[in-house]
Amino acid sequence: MKELFKKENRILASCDKKTWNQSFTLSILIILLFATCAGYFFDFVYMMCDIIGSIISSSSDIALRDIVRSLPYLSSTIGCIFVLGNLHILFRNYNKDITCKRIFKHSITIIVFGTISALAPLIGLGTKVYSSLIEGSPTDLYPLDQMLTGLVLIVIGVLSVIITTKLKNEINLSLPTRGVENKKCRVIANIGKGIWLLVALFSFSATIYFFKSIDLSNGYVFYSIMLFILFILPWVYMMIYEFHYLELKEEVRKEHDFIIGLVGTIISLVSIILFFISLSLNIDGPSNVGFGLLPVDFTASINVFNIIYPLTIVTVPMVKLIQGIIYKKNK
C-alpha cells in the first residue's frame, strides 16, 4: 500500500513544470465543472421524476407540458455533462488521435444540446409555453439563463470541433498519458463509467443539500449518518480515481488493483449493510430525513431509491477487485 503514496510512482513526478501546470489547471477546471454539473443534475433528476410520476399516474398531458417547459434545463444539463466528459478525456489523454476523435464526437453532442437550450426558450415564448423570458422557476432567471448557457455550450462545442480537426497539430499540450487504451469491453466500460459519473454528480449535490435540509430533532440519527455516508462515497471514489489513481504509473495501478478494489468493496459493503440495518430500524426515515433527497418515491410504498442507490456504490470497487484478481492470475 505504501507504493500508492510514493512520489516517484506518480506520473507527474518525472514531468517538467509546464506539464505540471497544465495538469493542475485542468484538474481545477474539472473540479469546478463537476460541481456545476452536480447542481444541474440534482434538479434534472427531480424534473425527470416529476415527468415519470405524471406518466405513471396517467397524466400524460401534464408530463408533456413539463417536458416542454423543462427542455432548456434538461438540454443544458446534458450539454454540461458532455463538456465535463471532454475535460476528462483530455485529462486521461490516451494519445492525440484517440483524444481528438472522442472530443470531436462529444463536441457535436454539445452543439446539439446547446442549440436546443438556446432556441427552446424563444420557441416557448412564441408558443406561450413561457409568459416571459424570466419566469423565475426552477432558477431565478429561467429560462433566459438556460438560453445563455446554450449559447456558451455552442461556442465551446464549435471551438472544440475546430481544435480537434483543423488545429490539432498546432496545439502544444504537454499533458501526460494516464493509461493506455483498453479495447476489451470498451463500450460496456464507458457505459459503466457514465452511469457512475451520474451517481457521483447526484451524490455530491445530495451531500451539500443534506447539510441544508437535515433535521435530527425527531431522532433518526443512525439512519441519517448512514445516508450521509452513502452520499459521500460515490463522489469521493470518483475524486480518488481521477486525481490519485490515474496519477499513478500504469504498472503501479495494475499491481495494486486487487488491494484497492478489496478495500473499496469492504468499505462499501459495510456501509450498505449498516444502512439497511438503519433503514429497518427507521422505516419512515426516507420520508422524514430523506425528503427532498430521495427521488423516485412514487414507484412503490417503500422508496425504491433506498434499494437501488446503495447497490450502485459497490459496483466500481468490485470491478477494480475483479481486475486485480485477473491481473494476479495472468501474472
Locate the domains of the chain by residue range: 13-181, 207-331
Q: Which band of pLDDT confidence, cut at 50, 70 and 90, is reported for residue 170?
A: low
- pTM for the predicted model, two decimal places: 0.89
From the number of C-beta atoms within 10 Å of its C-beta (0-12, 13-18, 19+), residue 126 rates as: exposed
User: For 243-268, what is the mean pLDDT?
Assistant: 90
For 304, which DSSP code? T
Asked if pLDDT for residue 303 goes beyond 70, the answer is: no
From the number of C-beta atoms within 10 Å of its C-beta (0-12, 13-18, 19+), residue 205 rates as: buried
Query: How far apart are the C-alpha atoms of 86 and 164, rounded to whole Å?
Result: 11
Q: Which residue has the cell 438560453?
A: 147
In this structure, what are the phi and psi dihedrals at residue 3, rounded to the nearest 5 degrees?
-60, -25
C-alpha distances (whole Å) from 171 to each of 111, 123, 163 are 22, 38, 8
Query: How far apart are the C-alpha atoms of 210 and 231, rounded to whole Å?
Result: 9
User: For 138-148, what is the mean pLDDT?
Assistant: 93
Q: Residue 181 has what pLDDT?
A: 57
Query: How far apart are the C-alpha atoms of 287 and 264, rounded to whole Å?
Result: 29
Report H helices in the chain. Answer: 17-56, 60-92, 96-126, 144-165, 186-213, 221-240, 250-281, 285-288, 305-313, 315-330
Q: Which residue has the cell 514531468?
A: 15
C-alpha angle 144-147-149 in degrees, rounded to nearest 5? 110
User: For 77-87, what is the mean pLDDT?
Assistant: 96
Cell of 56: 405513471
Asked if pLDDT for residue 57 goes beyond 80, the answer is: no
3-state secondary structure of 169: coil
pLDDT tens for each residue of 233-247: 999 999 998 999 888
Query: How far apart are the C-alpha atoms of 180 and 93, rounded to whole Å?
Result: 9
3-state secondary structure of 307: helix
User: For 6-26, what is the mean pLDDT?
Assistant: 86
- Of 316, 319, 296, whose CA–CA distance to 307 is shortest? 296
On whether the CB atoms of residues 94 and 180 are closer than 8 A, the answer is yes
Give the count of beta carbons closer than 10 Å to the beta carbon of residue 25.
10
On whether the CB atoms of residues 55 and 207 are closer than 8 A, the answer is no
